[in-house]
Structure 1
Amino acid sequence: MCPGLCSPIFLFLVWGACWGLITAESPITAQFGRDVTLSCLFPSQPRMNLQHLTITWQKEQVGAEILVVYSHYYGREQLARQDEAYTNRTWLDPEGLARGNASLMLRGVRTQDEGIYRCHVTSEQGTTSETRQVTVMAPYSEPHLTLDPTFRLGHTLLTFSSGGGYPRASVEWRDGMGINLTELSSTTESVDIRGLYTLCSELAVPVGQSTNLTVLLVTAPGRETPVQHITVAAGPGQRCSHVWLLVACLGAVTLSVILAVWILGPPGRGTCGRCSESRFAGTKDVEHPSPQSQPGPSTCPALGTPTTGLRADLPVAPSPSRQGSVARS
């Protein structure tokens, strides 16, 4: 007795597989923008009447009406009910029908073409149905990495970006020990009109320590693709910080010297050091001297002695009153 193996469902599956009526699902990966062929074979015989051949390709949609991708009956294509998304994008080799080949070529694969397709063939030999699952793949562009050492005091900002890819992916950051740093990062994504994704991820790392990082694109659970290896050295960041600190200190010292010179200033011409000291001490050695008692231009007000800067060795011209008394004598 074989209660399980002799059930009607099991016998139907075996019979259908032997005669090519039911074919197991075979996944196909289609490259974005290229052509892909969805195979579909059915039983045939020589001199088969193709006028009795009916071929229909359909695409299933979750929660929506089934789309008609391609139809062929009465010996020719019937595209009146073809969905507009596949207009001028399908091709079936008419010569292959006599050999039992109803494979369909889909031109210029788009992200919207992803899904499950069914091929139904009815001929003099019976009915055949095949299923094809299509996944679309578009490689992400060459990763672009930028470093911003002025992002925040003591931190360097790493920015990773890549675009034009499909399916949707996520970015992971890991250090040299394999520790996941993704929670410390910030990632944004955008989608263009073609359905392709662009990712931008940022991670701030401390300055002053060497760090080895790996950036990964994760397109599906367990499917991780390392796309960038980064080494952030401590030396350049520290030297940069030290240089800026040195420049700031030199600038402060220079400004202090300039202010001191401007406030204090050099001693005025014709004054001695004691006069300068007296002036900055807030005292005066000679207070408002009268014109008669004011020393000459070559005399120091504090000491009453000639200054070296005014040529005190030159003879002094006699006053007019003295010249008159000499003439009368």
Structure 2
Amino acid sequence: MLLHISWIILTVFGILMLPVYPLQIPPEEGTVVVPPGGSAIFSCSFTATNSLNLTNLIINWQHGDTVVHSFYLGRDQLERQGQIYKGRTRLLMDQVLKGNASLSLNNVQQHHHGEYTCDVNNETGETKKRVRLIVAAPYEDPQMAVHYTCNDVVVTLSSSQGFPEPTVSWKHPVGRNVTTTELDTKGFYRVQSNLTFSFNTTQTVIVEMSLDILSQRFIREITLHPLQGCHVSHPVHIRSKVLLILTLLVYILVLLLLLITTGRVSTSEKDSSSASSSSSVLKLIVEKTL
């Protein structure tokens, strides 16, 4: 019989965890890191004069060839705005006259990732700035769990609330590993990675999960010991027993049919004796089979 132990969250011996860097990548100027669904502010300053006239001011934000936001003739001009930016952008109008053409982008999604260009034209000349948007979020501390059977063990690493998909690498021991990810309703990933292996001596399991874009890295190390007094069942032996039991049941059924068809089923002492003998024979067969 297989011995099962339910999933447990481990309080493991010897956990090694490398530092987790903060969300903002240091110190790359002009880079903004925002999680899915968050808001970004793209900074862009230009030289403004006290006599700045909004009618003569042109502000244009682009993402590649896609228009993100345009302002000229004293107002927003969004007819050519890309579809994925509609209803998401705005200039900080109270700051424009002070030389601030920064843009706010709301509800950031993965397809907004990339480089943005700010182009400002006014009486003093032209100003160009570039801003890089990274859509990413750090993962929560991974949890470890272990599921034993007599045949093998499954070690599981799981984490969530991160973006984009991480890299999971099982360093030791060698086994069969499967990693799955799925997006939750808020656009963050849940990740689960399983390592399945067999062992009969103490093993140290080492796994690494990393999110390179945020320089985030976790290393987990646990020591496992084989189960004591666990007897592995052999499938071939089990199948042989099943076949013998089925054969015995067929024999009993045939015997009963013969007794009925020949009219030997009665309440007489002789028939009772015969039935008793048959029962003894069947009992002996069962005992030998099992």
Kindly state the Cα deviation for residue 159 of structure 1 after the two structures are TM-superposed: 2.5
Partner of 2:211: 219
SS in 1 for 2:95: helix
CA contact under 8 A between 2:59 and 2:101: conserved in structure 1? yes
Partner of 1:134: 133
| Alignment partner of 1:230 out of 205, 213, 222 | 222
Partner of 2:112: 113
CA contact under 8 A between 1:25 and 1:131: conserved in structure 2? no
Alpha-carbon distance in 2 for matches of 1:112, 1:230:
39
Once the two structures are superposed, the pairs formed by residues 192-207 of structure 1 within 5 Å of their partners are: 196-207=188-199
* 2:159 maps to 1:162: yes
Letter in 2 for 1:158: V
Kindly state the Cα deviation for residue 200 of structure 1 after the two structures are TM-superposed: 3.0
Letter in 2 for 1:47: S
Kindly state the Cα deviation for residue 207 of structure 1 after the two structures are TM-superposed: 3.8
| Alignment partner of 2:60 out of 30, 44, 56 | 56
CA contact under 8 A between 1:29 and 1:135: conserved in structure 2? yes
State which structure, 1 or 2, has the greater radius of gyration over its C-alpha atoms: 1
Q: Percent identity of the aligned residues?
A: 31
Structure 1 residues 174 and 222: alpha-carbon distance in aligned structure 2, compared to 1, 3 A threshold: farther
SS in 2 for 1:238: coil
The two structures, once aligned, show a CA RMSD in angstroms of 3.2
Letter in 2 for 1:209: T
Kindly state the Cα deviation for residue 194 of structure 1 after the two structures are TM-superposed: 6.9
1:250-282, Cα deviation, whole Å (9 max, x unpaired): xxxxxxxxxxxxxxxxxxxxxxxxxxxxxxxxx
Kindly state the Cα deviation for residue 85 of structure 1 after the two structures are TM-superposed: 1.2
What TM-score, normalized by structure 1, do the two folds share? 0.55
Alpha-carbon distance in 2 for matches of 1:35, 1:222:
18
Gaps in structure 1 of 5+ consecutive residues:
1-23, 61-65, 176-180, 246-329
Once the two structures are superposed, the pairs formed by residues 275-286 of structure 1 within 5 Å of their partners are: none
Kindly state the Cα deviation for residue 212 of structure 1 after the two structures are TM-superposed: 3.2
Structure 1 residues 104 and 87: alpha-carbon distance in aligned structure 2, compared to 1, 3 A threshold: same
SS in 1 for 2:30: strand
| Alignment partner of 1:28 out of 26, 29, 32 | 32
Once the two structures are superposed, the pairs formed by residues 261-280 of structure 1 within 5 Å of their partners are: none
Kindly state the Cα deviation for residue 224 of structure 1 after the two structures are TM-superposed: 5.4
* 2:168 maps to 1:171: yes
Partner of 1:104: 103
Letter in 2 for 1:75: G
SS in 1 for 2:228: helix
What TM-score, normalized by structure 2, do the two folds share? 0.62
* 2:34 maps to 1:44: no
Alpha-carbon distance in 1 for matches of 2:186, 2:211:
18
Answer 1 or 2: higher relative contact order, Cα 8 Å, separation at least 6. Answer: 2
Kindly state the Cα deviation for residue 125 of structure 1 after the two structures are TM-superposed: 0.5
Partner of 1:210: 202
1:40-66, Cα deviation, whole Å (9 max, x unpaired): 001111121111000011102xxxxx1
Letter in 2 for 1:36: A
Structure 1 residues 25 and 222: alpha-carbon distance in aligned structure 2, compared to 1, 3 A threshold: closer
1:126-153, Cα deviation, whole Å (9 max, x unpaired): 0111001111112335535442322xx5
1:153-194, Cα deviation, whole Å (9 max, x unpaired): 54211132334432232101234xxxxx57752334455787
Alpha-carbon distance in 1 for matches of 2:99, 2:154:
61
SS in 1 for 2:96: helix
Structure 1 window deviating more from structure 2 (89-98 vs 125-134): it is 89-98
SS in 2 for 1:85: helix
Aligned residues: 208
